[in-house]
Each structure stands twice: as structure tokens, then as C-alpha cells.
Amino acid sequence: MAQAGKFNPLLWVVALAIINGAWYGVAGGEAKHEINDQQHSTEDRTIDISSVFGLDKEISVTFSVQFFKVSSDSGNASWKITDENGQLIAKWQGSIDQEQGWEGTLSPGTYVINTTMDEGLLTEQNLYIKPFENLRLEGHLLLSLGLIILAFLEPIVKKNIAKIIPKQYPQTPKLKKNPFKDNDDGMPENDQFHDDDPWRSPTID
């Protein structure tokens, strides 16, 4: 068992594993942006991709698309993603029975998703964004380095604090209480007599 105040490498190794495990879970998380649903479909949808920590690094995205026949014998549709300058990022065109989605990366900015389909078709489209996926490695390195630095600084900080506290808050000697000292507080019968005669007559009410 480690003594109190001693540097314990095992605890820091455990802490390193915990924070990296937590970051692994966070980095894999995704945010859902609804583009179209079956009840509310529009041909053009504008979305904004925000930067992470102010960086211009590309963000991993997955574009999920499904088309549904309602009252149509034909089944042709298309979609395309363009940036704010009109530059084509991704597109698809064909039968709704074919593969329809897309996975890739998008830089922070504004994008337009244009969807066209035959009459009698409905669509459901969602853009899943993983904001920390492309920062996974950097996150592991920064968290690990920060914890290692903290582990080396901890003994120094504790030592300095131990020196500062006695100077700011000097200890004063405590007065020892005499356990045999008389205490007449709370005895009203003694308040009626103030003479020093130990053989005084008892009082009769």
C-alpha cells in the first residue's frame, strides 16, 4: 500500500488509461443534422458546419439517404452537395434501389444539399457529423502529455504549499483546560448566597 504523500506511478497509469478511454468515446460521437424527412421534404437545404476549437481541419461526415415510393411506378432520384461557392463536393443519381449514401469529410463552412426525385417519391436524409474524429490522435497526445506534466509537477506543488501555509497561518499554542476546575454555571441555588460561611443554615421556602 502506497504511503500518503508519496508519488504513486500506478495511480497515474490508471488515470492515463481513464482519460484516454473517455476521449476515445467522445471522439467517436456524432451529431445528427436532419436534411429531409418524409413529411417535410425540400429540394434545397442549407447547412452550416462549424469549426472545432477554431481549427480549419476537415470534419468526418456520413450522408444517409433513403427514398420511398408512395404513388409512383418510376423510381429515379438524385442529390448533390455543393459548398457556398457552388463547387461540387459529392453527388449521386440513379434508381432508388441503388446505393444512395456518402461518407467523406467537409471543411468548416456553408453547404447546400440539392435533392430531386420523381413525383410520388419521398425521402429521408440525415447528415451525421463526427466533429472530433479527425482530432482523435491530437486529443490522445495532448491529454497524455498534460497528465504526465501534472504528475511531475504534483510533488513540487505540494512541497511549496507545505512551506507557504505555516508562514501565512502560524499556529498558536493552545491553552490546556483544567479538567478539575469548578464550574458553577447552571446552578441557580448557588446564586442565592454570596457569603463565605460554609455552615450557613438551609433556607426554607
- 125 neighbors 102 (Cβ within 8 angstroms): no
What's the rounded Cα separation, in Å, for the pair 37 and 195? 99
pLDDT at 108: 93
pLDDT at res. 11: 81
Torsion, Cα of 149, 151, 155, 160 (10° steps): 40
Read off the C-alpha cell for 187.
446552578
> What is the per-residue pLDDT for 194?
52
Q: Which of 111, 165, 150, 104 is nearest to 130 (CA)?
A: 104
Q: How many CA atoms lie within 13 A of 31 on its CB side?
A: 12
Q: Residues 110, 142: contact at Cβ < 8 Å?
A: no
d(CA 131, CA 28): 9
Per-position pLDDT tens, the chain of length 205: 444 455 567 887 888 888 888 888 887 788 899 999 988 888 999 999 988 887 888 999 999 999 988 887 778 999 999 999 999 999 999 998 887 899 999 999 999 999 999 888 999 999 999 988 878 888 788 888 888 888 778 777 777 676 676 665 555 656 556 555 555 555 555 555 555 555 555 555 5
Grid coordinates standing for 115? 435533392
**Under 8 Å between Cβ of 112 and 43:** no
Which helix (H) or strand (E) segment holds residue 143: the answer is helix 136-168
CA 25/CA 62 separation, integer angstroms: 18
Cβ–Cβ < 8 Å for 88, 82: yes
Length of the chain (residues): 205
Whole-model pTM? 0.61
Residue 75 CA to residue 114 CA, distance in Å, equals 17
pLDDT at 1: 42
Q: What is the pLDDT of residue 6?
A: 58
CATH class, domain 30-131, is mainly beta
Amino acid 2: pLDDT: 44
* Chain-centre distance for alpha carbon 137: 18
Rounded to whole angstroms, how far apart are CA atoms 91 and 95?
14
For residue 23, give every residue at least 6 positions away whose Cβ sits within 8 Å of its Cβ, in sequence order, or none: 136, 139, 140, 143
